[in-house]
Amino acid sequence: MAKTKPQDRAQRSKKNAKNGAANETPKKKTTSPEALLVQAAALLQTSQPEEALVQAKRALGLLQPTSEPTTAALPALNLLGEINVELGDPEAAREVFYAAAALDPDGVFEGAEKFLWLAQLNEEGGSESVRWFEKGVEVLKREIGELEERMKKPEVAEMLEEKKQKMANALCGIAEVYMTDLSWEEDAERRCEAAVTEALLVAPESPEPLQTLASIRISQTKIEDARTALGMSMELWKDLDPDDPQVPDFSTRISLSRLLMEAEMEDEAIEVLERLVGENDESVEAWYLGGWCLHLLAEKQKAAGEQDTATTLQRASRDWLENCLKLYTMLEYEDDRLKEHTDELLQGLNGTLGPATGEEDEQWEDTDGEEDEDAEMGDT
């Protein structure tokens, strides 16, 4: 659902107020905090975080009318945290998640979500992130144990799988911290292996633990093992509908494309990236990675003596990279290293292909369309 323009909302409000004044005496509207939270969650789900923020704040005001902290406010605090994440305000999100964690230190009332968010949002990173992840895992283990005792109900089975997925993702988060911030620690490799092994045991049909395993194997220069794990991870979701809950989220698949490129699986990487730009054509990083991936494929074709194929791939690479730069400027994107590498790649491509022309772009599109038609005719 598209966001409603603020000025349109204001005009409608004035019109409704005018009509209402003419027809009836205004009545004071009362709404329960539960209803407000439902409305806020729905607005957040439909990409309207600004409107969701208003409703969630109203709910918090009703649930906690004074400055005195109360566990009744936990649902509103957790939702406010998620809304602020969506709004790109990590400081505000941290503030409400910390407040929620202080009210519910054992996750008895509102579960593990606040701990998992704090693991990702805290500014210290490293061992502090691990501490919050482990807190979330502890809560999820308890909840999973309770659900397993009630496995006969179908809705319980669905909730159980969701909890296991969250726990596996949290364990992958721990492994990633030990691959990055805490890689210098003596037992970092052991902790990585332990976390990802537990994640695979908890959610064997989940793509994320396999992807994390591949990342560990790449860092260990065990490239064949990494390729096997990446292939298994993709097989779990690549043929599913984009809306299927089994399909990893956008950022996870961006990370996947990077890992595929590191493992020299460029064909699989461009397949993932084409799907990503089909879902969101305003992702600067997806266009950049696609352009880089096509450039790597062109270099392989050139080395194999397939110059015509290499030239076609180079033109496609340039198209992707130029789209990346257009979006970079339009969206005021902030990643200097991405920009520098994109400029460097384009400079090399323009030196090889000559200056870009609109005719070349059209020729690439027409050729691409002809290939698709030929493929379809071959299938019939």
From the number of C-beta atoms within 10 Å of its C-beta (0-12, 13-18, 19+), residue 152 rates as exposed
Query: Does any domain span residue 331?
Result: yes
CB of 284 closer than 8 Å to CB of 324: yes
Query: Does any domain span residue 20?
Result: no
Q: What is the gyration radius of the CA atoms in the chain, in angstroms?
A: 25
**Domain range for 292:** 282-355
Dihedral of alpha carbons 248, 253, 259, 263, sign? positive
Burial 256-292 (b: 16+ CB within 10 A, else e): bbbbbbbbebbebbbbbbeebbeeeeebbbbbbbbbb
Give the per-residue pLDDT at 149: 86
Residue 140 one-letter amino acid: L
Rounded-to-integer distance, Cα 187 and Cα 174, Å: 13
Give the per-residue pLDDT at 380: 37
Query: Does any domain span residue 255?
Result: no
CB of 85 closer than 8 Å to CB of 121: yes
What phi, psi does 181 have (nearest 5°)?
-60, -35
Query: Does any domain span residue 372?
Result: no
Q: Categorize the per-residue pLDDT at 155 as very low, low, confident or very high, splitting at 50, 70 and 90.
A: confident
Burial 37-47 (b: 16+ CB within 10 A, else e): bebbbebbeee
Q: Which two tokens stand for residue 100?
A: 């929620």
For 296, half-sphere exposure in the C-beta direction (CA atoms, 13 angstrom radius) is: 18
Question: For 160-201, what is each residue's pLDDT tens digit?
Answer: 999 999 999 999 999 999 999 999 999 999 999 999 999 999
Query: Does any domain span residue 28?
Result: no
In Å, the largest CA–CA distance within the chain is 82
Question: For 205-249, what is each residue's pLDDT tens digit?
Answer: 999 999 999 999 999 999 999 999 999 999 999 999 988 988 999
Choose the weakest-confidence range: 24-38, 56-70, 97-111.
24-38
Give the per-residue pLDDT at 367: 39
Q: Categorize the per-residue pLDDT at 358 as very low, low, confident or very high, splitting at 50, 70 and 90.
A: low
Query: Does any domain span residue 274?
Result: no
Query: Does any domain span residue 329?
Result: yes
Number of domains in the chain: 1
Rounded (5°) CA angle 220-225-229: 115
Query: Does any domain span residue 294?
Result: yes
Give the per-residue pLDDT at 315: 96
